Structure 1
């Protein structure tokens, strides 16, 4: 059983949902050496999230952003935490709803996802710096 762990710094993204599957695969070339295993991806931030969903039609990304912006709106009078602006608390809520990690199976040197699945970064801030991911690969 092999374990490999490294951090991946993503470039800053604008607010929205962004496919990062290829970034992760490039950062973890050892994927190709495993017959079976797991890749765990964790984001080290509380105002961005990770999820797996449809990777082919770009309108899905816009629909995700519109849905979450309506479900968790800015400037609600009951928010107390707004030190960094009106997107501060909504970003934390969206990140909690979607989650901070994904775990994916590895089979025959590749991520074993459905043909229409990809890994998304949910960027929930208007002005975010780059985001850091911890990639942990294990298998044989």
Structure 2
């Protein structure tokens, strides 16, 4: 039979082993810390310090909002790009800013968006061809065919006619074309595309106000 001393030693070893496994199960992070602690002292002197992170440049965004009025026009389609650019000198601020030396190192190109919104309920805004004047005339004729003021025999077509027979057709035309347009800005100019321009469609011929917000 084993001696009492050997049995006591085996019991103590099993107790320590069981306690160690119990601690490892409950605190695995502590066990990992104890195991890796000697190695952290050995390799601390050989590791190079981490260089400080350089601050990153966050580009800024600018917003501006302006209201201006277009001259009153009769029903039709009218080019308004020149008037808009003259009314919004802020567009020219979005230009390329270049650093010195070489082929413009560090050059940053500012771009933006111009959003135009017409407030009048009987007006619309669009981007359309400006090379041929017939396009604007055809647009007006097409809108009249889509939303005529009366039926083929002169009968009423709409319930809403509080301001005359052209009241409801004007609202329909405005809703179909839209009350706002968005145009990119690059190098201080509107990038509307070749042979395209901003056009105002007053479908009842009343004065129109435009909200403009540029980014």
TM superposition score category, shorter chain reference: over 0.9
1:18 partnered with 2:61: no
Aligned length: 136
The DSSP-based 3-state class of the residue aligned with 2:158 is coil
The DSSP-based 3-state class of the residue aligned with 1:2 is coil
Structure 1 stretches of 4+ with a deviation exceeding 4 A read: none
- CA-atom RMSD, angstroms? 1.0
Partner residue of 2:87 out of 8, 27, 32: 27
Structure 1, unmatched stretches of 5+, are none
Give the TM-score taking structure 1 as reference length.
0.93
Shift in Å, 1:78: 3.3
Partner residue of 2:136 out of 61, 80, 101: 61
* Map of 1:70 onto structure 2: 145
Structure 2, unmatched stretches of 5+, are 1-60, 95-109
Shift in Å, 1:54: 0.1
Shift in Å, 1:30: 1.1
Cα distance in structure 2, aligned partners of 1:113 and 1:49: 17
Cα distance in structure 1, aligned partners of 2:157 and 2:202: 23
Cα distance in structure 2, aligned partners of 1:123 and 1:5: 23
* Map of 1:132 onto structure 2: 209
Higher helix share: 2
Higher strand share: 1
Shift in Å, 1:21: 0.8
Give the TM-score taking structure 2 as reference length.
0.62
1:49 partnered with 2:124: yes
* Map of 1:102 onto structure 2: 181
1:93 partnered with 2:172: yes
Cα distance in structure 2, aligned partners of 1:22 and 1:91: 25
Shift in Å, 1:56: 1.7
